[in-house]
Amino acid sequence: VCVKSVPDTETKIKIGADNRHIDLADVRFITSPYDEFAIEEALSLKEKHGGETVAFSMGGNEVTDVLRDTLARGVDNAVHLNDPDFQDLDPLSTAKVLAAAIAGGGFDVIFCGQQGVGGDHSQVPAMLAELLDLPQVTMVVKLEIEGEKFKAEREIEGAHEIVEGTLPVVLSAQKGLNEPRYPSIKGVMAARRKEIAVKNAEALGSSGKVGQQFCKVKLTELTLPPPRPQGKMIEGDAETQAKTLVHLLRTEAKVI
Amino acid sequence: MAQGILVFIEHRGGQVRKSSLEALSEARRQADRAGGPVVALLVGQGVKDLASVLLKYKPDKVLVADDAEFAQYSTEGFTAALVEAVKRSDPRFVFSAWTAMAKDLIPRAAARCDAGCLTDVTELREREGTLLAVHPMYSAKAYGTFEFQSEPVFMTLRPNAFFTIEPDAAHTAPVEMLEVKPEKVRARVVETHAAAGAKVELSEAPIIVSGGRGIKGPENWGMLQELCDVLGAALGASRAVVDAGWIDHQHQVGQTGKTVSPQLYIACGISGAIQHLAGMSSSKVIVAINNNPDAPIFKYATYGIVGDVFEVVPKLTEEFRKALSES
Ligand SMILES: Cc1cc2nc3c(=O)[nH]c(=O)nc-3n(C[C@H](O)[C@H](O)[C@H](O)COP(=O)(O)OP(=O)(O)OC[C@H]3O[C@@H](n4cnc5c(N)ncnc54)[C@H](O)[C@@H]3O)c2cc1C
Ligand SMILES: Nc1ncnc2c1ncn2[C@@H]1O[C@H](COP(=O)(O)O)[C@@H](O)[C@H]1O
């Protein structure tokens, strides 16, 4: 399972001094919400079929709590991918780091979330599948695994697609896949005693290949959305309001 | 040297997606400014006839990968076709609409080309001869401006964020076949089930009427559906009513639902939680109907109506019906 540590979705966004990051003062980090579906699905597969679950997360110190939380939910082992070279990476470079850590691990299923909130890219899972040379299904809302075969349902515009194939596979979890469990007290206690493995660029063999200078997509500026112009309140009884609105939509906003 | 723009065209049920035509139109505009050809790519079985639809949007060439292999979508099959088209046309940029298919396909193809990729682009801008792209982040609470250091660069454009050019029925350009034999396809679509009730697709709809807890119960969707029918609008919903089981998740707008940018968004009995706004705050015009004058949604509304949805919505339906039958 690939888990990303992201700013709490309730965070009020302020732009940082460099105009390229958000102001991290007072920001609490959480597991990216879609990764919670990924973790849950991995745990329920393990309950059904046995095996081992491992969480991978790339990032700085903000990752530790998220990995502890993942262990507390019942994931067996956690690997923290941490190196100065891993800061501010674009999705392709992120996928390269994850692929280096995951390749050769003998995993049957590699779960991701369908989107890492914050960056909002929805890119890493498909890139990871390509780099690992595995099939993929993104935005999965239902999953069945039998022997070497999987059957996954994904949400598309106005329909659901059923995708079939053989393991191993990379899957990205969409809301609706399951109801994530909360960590139990026992889980939290056990997670505290567990060791989180740390791997750097050298250990992954990615030195001189991954780093900001190699990124192909660069954020140059982060801005707040332009404020919406002051709206108009429409007064009167329901009929007058309806008439006025239709009139304004046609003559002023010109959208009808 | 790489130049021009390759546009991946999506189609379903024999129809080219509107958002693909938007991407093709934007490619035309960018190429007219910066030079280089626009090449449109169709992948499917028996899709060559669709080229005539694309020609009206003035590409310089249409490539068609037509094979039984492409009758149904598969990530690996379509990636092979797209990457082959990249090799053939050596573009500076690859555009596509930001759809469920693109979310699956485009990053994979970008990784195969070892190329940069930016999804959900809402604006393209030029600065000193280089193209910059804007992508909403932090659930649209901030906008990132990105630059690129790769050739090509893959980009998916948000539906409704770019407008289509005036179609030109007289435009002609070569239509060429693209031979592709995917090496391996280890997962493929075996069935597609249409979701019940979705008449107009949410993410592409020019008008959306959305309902929240204020509509009181699932028995009242009929009232909103009637307004939708009059306007040709899609039906949206808040998470509260999706979680309550009043409607399918397909209709949910917001951070954990769909992101939409229609011309007109009419929110009926929706409070305007930050996670709902995340999905619709880039709508051009927002109308809010809510009986609580302090509801946060009014801070974002272009037009606000303080009132009971059960009184206002039927009147509104009536007024729109009148107005639209006059024109
Ligand atoms: C991680 C996370 C993700 C989330 N993702 C989403 C998401 O994707 N989309 C989403 O929508 N929410 C999302 N939410 C939930 C969000 O916080 C709100 O709870 C939800 O949007 C509220 O839905 P609502 O506006 O329908 O209900 P309420 O907040 O209960 O609002 C109902 C409104 O209806 C009005 N009303 C009542 N009766 C009438 C009447 N007769 N006439 C007119 N108005 C009336 C009330 O004044 C009120 O403003 C998310 C929350 C979290 C924590
Ligand atoms: N730094 C990271 N560490 C671990 N997993 C990640 C990281 N970034 C992205 N992912 C995974 O990729 C998914 C999609 O992320 P993104 O492409 O950034 O939207 C996330 O839900 C995670 O499962």
Q: Report pTM.
A: 0.94
Task: Report how far residue A57's alpha carbon sits from residue A80's, in angstroms, rounded to the nearest whole number.
Answer: 5
> Which ligand number lies closest to the CA of residue B213?
1
Residues A164/B190, Cβ–Cβ less than 8 Å:
yes
Q: How confident is the model at residue B1 (pLDDT cuts 50, 70, 90)?
A: confident
Residue A219, pLDDT > 90, answer yes
Is the Cβ atom of B269 under 6 angstroms away from ligand 1?
yes
Average pLDDT, chain B: 95
A-chain CB neighbours of B263 within 8 Å are: 255
- Residue B274 touches chain A, beta carbons under 8 Å: yes
Return the pLDDT at A8.
Answer: 93
Distances in Å between the Cα of B248 and the Cα atoms of A40, B188, B237, B255, B270 are: 22, 25, 9, 16, 17
Q: Is the pLDDT of residue B199 over 90?
A: no
A13 → chain B, closest CA residue: B141
Which percentage of chain A shows pLDDT scores above 70?
100
Express each pLDDT in B292-309 by its tens digit.
Answer: 999 999 999 999 999 999
Could you say which ligand is closest to the alpha carbon of residue B137?
2
Is the pLDDT reported for residue B195 higher than 80?
Answer: no
pLDDT value for B196: 65
Q: Is A74 in the pocket of ligand 2 (CB under 6 A)?
A: no
pLDDT digits (tens, 9 = 90+) for A8-66: 988 889 999 999 999 999 899 999 999 999 999 999 999 999 999 999 999 999 999 99
Which chain B residue is nearest to residue A96, measuring alpha carbons?
Answer: B111
For residue B89 and ligand 1, the question of a CB distance below 6 A is answered with no
Ligand 2 pocket check for A101: Cβ under 6 Å:
no
Q: In the predicted model, what is the mean pLDDT of residues A204-211?
A: 94
pLDDT in tens, B113-158: 999 999 999 999 999 989 999 999 999 999 999 999 999 999 999 9
Look at A231 and B298 and tell me if their CB atoms are within 8 Å. yes
Ligand 2 center to residue A119 CA distance, Å? Answer: 9
What would the mean pLDDT of A155-172 be, rounded to a whole number? 95
Report residue A103's pLDDT band, with 50, 70 and 90 as the boundaries.
Answer: very high
| pLDDT for the residue B198 | 58
A126 close to B (CB below 8 A): yes
A169 touches chain B (CB under 8 A): yes
Q: Which of B12, B106, B116 is closest, CB to CB, to A90?
A: B116
Model confidence band, residue B197 (pLDDT cutoffs 50, 70, 90):
low
Mean pLDDT, to the nearest integer, of B97-108? 97
Task: State the Cα–Cα distance between residues A57 and A74, nearest whole angstrom.
Answer: 16
Which residues lie below 8 Å from residue B304, measured CB to CB, with a gap of 6+?
A: A231, A232, A233, A234, B287, B288, B290, B297, B298
Distance CA A205, CA B168 (A): 54
- When CB atoms are compared, the residue of B186, B192, B249 closest to A161 is B192
**pLDDT in the model for residue B326:** 82
What is the SS3 assignment for chain A? CECCEEECCCCCCCECCCCCCECCCCCCEEECHHHHHHHHHHHHHHHHHCCCCEEEEECCCCHHHHHHHHHHCCCCEEEEECCHHHCCCCHHHHHHHHHHHHCCCCCCEEEEECCCCCCCCCCHHHHHHHHCCCCEEEEEEEEEEECCEEEEEEEECCEEEEEEEECCEEEEECCCCCCCCCCCHHHHHHHHHCCEEEECHHHHCCCCCCCHHHCCEEEEEEECCCCCCCCEEECCCHHHHHHHHHHHHHHCCCCC
What does the alpha-carbon distance between residue A169 and residue B187 come to, in Å, rounded to a whole number? 9
Is 80 exceeded by the pLDDT of residue A104? yes
Question: Predicted confidence band at A226 (pLDDT cuts at 50, 70, 90)?
Answer: confident
Give me the pLDDT at residue B327, please: 67
A121, A223, A248 member nearest B142 (Cβ): A223
